[in-house]
């Protein structure tokens, strides 16, 4: 593979380090060349590292004469990808795009709206960079947060890739001893002091003012603290005045630009970062290499490296009071300093090397070339009940996307959603409105496979209209040349003419997987002769839950306490329910609370609708009913459910969340899918909501509380087997896609 990199050549700091780290490793994996637009230290140093470099000098920032020379170089040497870095390179690449038929990708190293200071530079340089970025074919974001930033600014998700900075950990670190370094930079050295360091140019975005205010607060309580700022910039005088104003000037040292960064890091006891915006800064990787305990603002991609309470400490951006608390906490706990330093070193060296950085780029380049040459814009289009704030369907979409990307990282999905912008931001994929006939027709024509995606889509118990919608989408997909994959569906019930309609669609499907045996029986009853039918399991079983600690923290924040036995409740209003359903259910929940000390916890699966029913249920109960708020992710809800002793529920995916974690369940059947799932997992504790038997429900609760360990073991074993079946859904899809691409 041949890749041409384009950069101004005046770059310093993180962007320079990123390009050096990337090309150091990439030159051993591909044929690479870098073009600099100005002479200087960058150009000289990159050549010294053995990277082939060419200088095509611009007379000024707006000199476009270099475009012709670049186009000639790309054409004659047959480069396959052009990779730009930085605003000036983006500007030139935006014109170069018109001259060469190769994909142009740019790396987003920062929040491009904050790159330039001063009114003129902001208006002109930032404005031109924004226009140039919109013309790029693809983007590489140096953190997941920057990818999300681009998506929030309406860049197309499928064009954006994510990498994390890497560095070479094999070379020898050269640094001065602490006493010698202190003498050189003019800092009094006392081994009994704790030295807290910050590295960065004196720009507002770096948050030096936040660091200074936090230093003042923490020094008031711990006189042994000393603070160092390495770096330079125009804002220094203002920062010196602030240090005087807050009374920290005698304990804060501005030591200027430090070339031998490891001497600085070796000297300090704590590494910190107070930036208002960051990508994935090298200073943290450099600190990690020396096992320095780290405190940082939780911005950009930093939380992917500094995991609060695991590999370091985080504080909210600009919250200097929280920053000060973290400094004091760590300064007074030498054991935690060592623990965080070691944990950070392990995480960084195992995951953020320059070899990993280069390998990731190679995968991105291959994905870009495949997409650029493809006649179809998408591999899969997902159709389902997406964008309606229903936790179960959100779980299905998340699980399908994660499974497919795990099998084929470069897969190109698009989702038909009721809230496409929200779906794009939440899941990081392209999305269009599900009710737009024009969009459906257009994008199905650009897609290899339609995934009729999970859930009970082919049924008419809810309404025939939803069934007709999904059958129409399946028909339109076939008409537009896309294969149809009925992906882990629950089939039925179906009635009258709907049976024939559904049968025709299922017969024509390229592949059908089913989530339970009841759906398989329904397929057989419809007389389907399609040979590509397989029993698998619900995709949501493959989703990870948050940790026990996180789940308990959520429970405590919701006011339910953190160390109790919980009974999860997930029910909904239903027009065929027992007319005394609410009162009878309240009786059963109170029974569990009074006899076994269980704390009732309502799990809303569909926003607003379920929360309204929770209020109704609470009014019938003697015991206080706690309820999760509506803003939790699927993984958080799963984690909370799995901390419960049992779950009683109607909502299918609440039952799946519980059973997947080995939590005993009592099913309240309002739809055949609930009974079908309970049968599939081998559990017979189920009641029909049309006539709730309170004695039966209470008996089920007794069974769970007396034989809980046995039930949990059996459920866990069944969940493990079903998880393997759930993973087959994605395998089948990737296999089908491979067959289509060969045609």
> What gap in Å lies between CA 592 and CA 667, rounded to an integer?
16
> What gap in Å lies between CA 720 and CA 66, rounded to an integer?
60
Please state, in angstroms and as integers, the Cα–Cα distance from residue 260 to each residue in 44, 175, 185, 231, 341, following that order.
Answer: 19, 7, 12, 12, 21
> What gap in Å lies between CA 478 and CA 456, rounded to an integer?
21
Contact 605, 570 (CB under 8 A): yes
Q: Does the pLDDT at position 93 exceed 90?
A: yes
Q: Does the pLDDT at position 13 exceed 80?
A: no
Say whether 588 sits in a helix, a strand or coil: helix
If pLDDT is split at 50, 70 and 90, which confidence band does 190 have?
Answer: very high
Structural tokens at position 237: 């005088």
Structural tokens at position 713: 């073991």
To which H or E segment does residue 344 belong?
Answer: helix 334-351
To which H or E segment does residue 271 belong?
Answer: strand 270-273
Provide, rounded to the nearest whole percent, the portion of the chain with pLDDT above 70.
Answer: 99
Contact 275, 205 (CB under 8 A): yes
Taking only the tens place, the pLDDT of each residue in 308-357 is 989 999 999 999 999 999 999 999 999 999 999 999 999 998 888 889 99
Count CB-CB contacts under 10 A for residue 635.
18
178-351 and 375-535, same CATH topology: yes
Where is average pLDDT lowest: 277-281, 458-462, 678-682? Answer: 277-281
Say whether 273 sits in a helix, a strand or coil: strand
> Kind of pairing, strands 533-535 and 511-514?
parallel
> Kind of pairing, strands 686-688 and 665-669?
parallel
Q: Please, which residues have CB within 8 angstroms of residue 259's CB and are 6 or more apart in sequence?
A: none
Higher pLDDT, 12 or 396: 396
The class level of CATH for 178-351 reads: alpha beta
- State mean pLDDT over 359-370: 96
Contacts 24+ apart (CB under 8 A), 422-426: 422/387, 423/386, 423/387, 423/397, 424/151, 424/157, 425/148, 425/151, 425/152
The sign of the CA dihedral 241, 246, 247, 251 is negative
Question: Which residue bears the tokens 């309606």?
Answer: 388
The sign of the CA dihedral 658, 601, 583, 574 is negative
Say whether 108 sits in a helix, a strand or coil: strand
Domain 375-535 has CATH 3.50.50.60: no
- ω before 125 within 30° of 0 (cis)? no
Measured in whole angstroms, the distance separating CA 357 from the mean position of its chain's CA atoms is 18
3-state secondary structure 617-660: HHCCCCCCCEECCCCCCHHHHHHHHCCCCEEEECCHHHHHHHHH
- State mean pLDDT over 231-259: 93
Taking only the tens place, the pLDDT of each residue in 500-552 is 999 999 999 999 999 999 999 999 999 999 999 999 999 999 999 988 888 98
What percent of the chain is helix, strand and coil (3-state, nearest 5)? 50, 20, 35
| Region at 300 (left for phi over 0; alpha for psi -120 to 50; beta for the rest) | left
Q: So where are the chain's domains? A: 2-162, 178-351, 375-535, 548-723
Measured in whole angstroms, the distance separating CA 497 from the mean position of its chain's CA atoms is 43
Overall residue count recorded for the chain in this entry? 743
Contact 654, 408 (CB under 8 A): no
If pLDDT is split at 50, 70 and 90, which confidence band does 18 have?
Answer: confident
pTM of the model: 0.82
> What gap in Å lies between CA 346 and CA 352, rounded to an integer?
10
Question: Which residue bears the tokens 């930093």?
Answer: 302
To which H or E segment does residue 404 belong?
Answer: helix 391-407
To which H or E segment does residue 15 belong?
Answer: helix 13-26
- The fold for domain 2-162 equals Rossmann fold (3.40.50)
pLDDT at 546: 87
If pLDDT is split at 50, 70 and 90, which confidence band does 723 have?
Answer: very high
If pLDDT is split at 50, 70 and 90, which confidence band does 116 have?
Answer: confident
Contact 660, 515 (CB under 8 A): no
pLDDT at 351: 85
Tell me the pLDDT of the chain averaged across its residues. Answer: 93
| DSSP states of 438-502 | HHHHHHHTTEEEEEEEEEEEE-SSS-HHHHHHHHHHHHHHHHTT-EEEEEEEEE----THHHHHH
* CATH tag for 548-723 (out of 3.40.50.620, 3.40.228.10, 1.10.1240.10, 3.40.50.2000): 3.40.50.2000
Residue whose C-alpha is closest to residue 225's, from 180, 272, 286: 272
Q: Does the pLDDT at position 279 exceed 80?
A: no
Q: Does the pLDDT at position 277 exceed 90?
A: no
Higher pLDDT, 742 or 275: 275
pLDDT at 718: 94
> What gap in Å lies between CA 694 and CA 568, rounded to an integer?
17
């Amino acid at each position: 593979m041949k890749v041409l990199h384009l950069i101004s050549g005046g770059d310093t700091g993180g962007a320079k380090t990123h390009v050096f780290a990337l090309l150091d490793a990439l030159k051993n994996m591909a044929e690479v060349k870098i073009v600099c637009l100005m002479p200087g230290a960058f150009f000289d140093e990159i050549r010294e590292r053995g990277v082939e470099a060419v200088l095509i000098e611009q007379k000024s920032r707006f000199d476009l004469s270099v475009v012709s020379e670049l186009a000639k170089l790309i054409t004659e040497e047959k480069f396959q990808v052009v990779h730009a870095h930085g605003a000036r390179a983006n500007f030139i690449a935006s014109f170069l795009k018109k001259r060469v038929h190769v994909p142009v990708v740019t790396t987003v190293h920062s929040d491009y709206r904050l790159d330039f200071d001063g009114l003129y530079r902001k208006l002109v340089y930032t404005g031109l960079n924004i226009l140039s970025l919109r013309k790029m074919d693809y983007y590489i974001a140096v953190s997941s947060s920057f990818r999300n930033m681009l998506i929030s600014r309406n860049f197309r998700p499928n064009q954006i890739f994510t990498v994390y900075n890497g560095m070479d950990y094999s070379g020898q670190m050269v640094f001065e001893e602490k006493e010698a370094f202190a003498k050189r930079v003019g800092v009094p050295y006392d081994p009994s002091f704790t030295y807290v360091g910050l590295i960065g140019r004196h720009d507002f975005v770096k948050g030096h003012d936040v660091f200074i205010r936090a230093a003042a607060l923490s020094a008031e309580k711990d006189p042994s603290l000393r603070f160092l700022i390495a770096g330079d910039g125009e804002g220094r005088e203002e920062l010196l005045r602030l240090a005087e104003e807050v009374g920290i000037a005698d304990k804060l040292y501005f030591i200027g630009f430090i070339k031998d960064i490891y001497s600085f890091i070796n000297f300090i006891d704590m590494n910190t970062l107070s930036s208002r915006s960051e990508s994935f800064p090298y200073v943290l990787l450099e600190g990690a290499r020396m096992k320095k305990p780290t405190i940082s603002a939780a911005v950009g991609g930093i939380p992917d490296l500094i995991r609060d309470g695991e590999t370091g400490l985080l504080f909210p951006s600009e919250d200097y009071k929280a920053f000060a608390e973290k400094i004091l906490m760590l300064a007074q706990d030498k054991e935690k300093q060592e623990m965080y330093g070691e944990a950070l070193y392990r995480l960084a060296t195992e995951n953020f090397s320059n070899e990993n950085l280069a390998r990731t780029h190679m995968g991105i380049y291959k994905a870009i070339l495949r997409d650029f040459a493809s006649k179809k814009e998408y591999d899969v289009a997902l159709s389902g009940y997406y964008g309606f704030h229903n936790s179960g369907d959100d779980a299905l979409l998340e699980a399908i996307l994660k499974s497919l990307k795990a099998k084929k990282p470069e897969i190109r999905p698009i989702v038909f959603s009721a809230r496409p912008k929200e779906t794009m931001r939440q899941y990081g994929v392209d999305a269009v409105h599900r009710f737009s006939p024009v969009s459906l027709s257009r994008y199905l024509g650009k897609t290899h496979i339609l995934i009729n995606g999970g859930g009970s889509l082919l049924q008419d118990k809810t309404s025939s209209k939803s069934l007709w919608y999904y059958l129409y989408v399946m028909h339109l997909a076939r008409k537009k040349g896309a294969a149809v994959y009925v992906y882990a569906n629950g089939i039925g019930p179906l009635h009258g003419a709907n049976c024939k309609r559904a049968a025709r669609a299922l017969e024509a499907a390229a592949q059908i997987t089913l989530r339970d045996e009841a759906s398989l029986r329904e397929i057989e009853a419809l007389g389907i002769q399609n040979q590509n039918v397989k029993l698998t399991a619900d995709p949501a079983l493959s989703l990870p839950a948050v940790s026990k600690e996180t789940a308990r923290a959520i429970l405590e924040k919701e006011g339910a306490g953190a160390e109790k036995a919980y009974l999860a409740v997930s029910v909904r209003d239903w027009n065929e329910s027992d007319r005394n359903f609410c009162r009878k259910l309240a009786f059963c929940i109170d029974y569990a609370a009074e006899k076994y000390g269980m704390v009732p916890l309502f799990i809303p699966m569909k926003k607003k609708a379920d929360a309204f029913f929770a209020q109704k249920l609470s009014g019938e109960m003697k015991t206080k009913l706690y309820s999760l708020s509506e803003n939790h992710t699927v993984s958080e809800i799963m984690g909370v459910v799995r901390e419960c002793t049992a779950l009683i529920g109607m909502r299918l995916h609440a039952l799946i969340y519980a059973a997947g974690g080995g939590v005993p369940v009592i099913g309240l059947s309002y739809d055949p899918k609930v009974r079908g799932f309970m049968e599939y997992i081998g559990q017979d504790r189920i009641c029909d909501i049309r006539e709730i038997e309170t004695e039966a429900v209470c008996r089920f609760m007794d069974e769970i509380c007396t034989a809980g360990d046995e039930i949990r073991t059996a459920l866990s074993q069944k969940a493990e087997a079903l998880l393997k079946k759930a993973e087959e859904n994605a395998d089948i899809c990737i296999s089908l896609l491979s067959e289509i691409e060969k045609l």
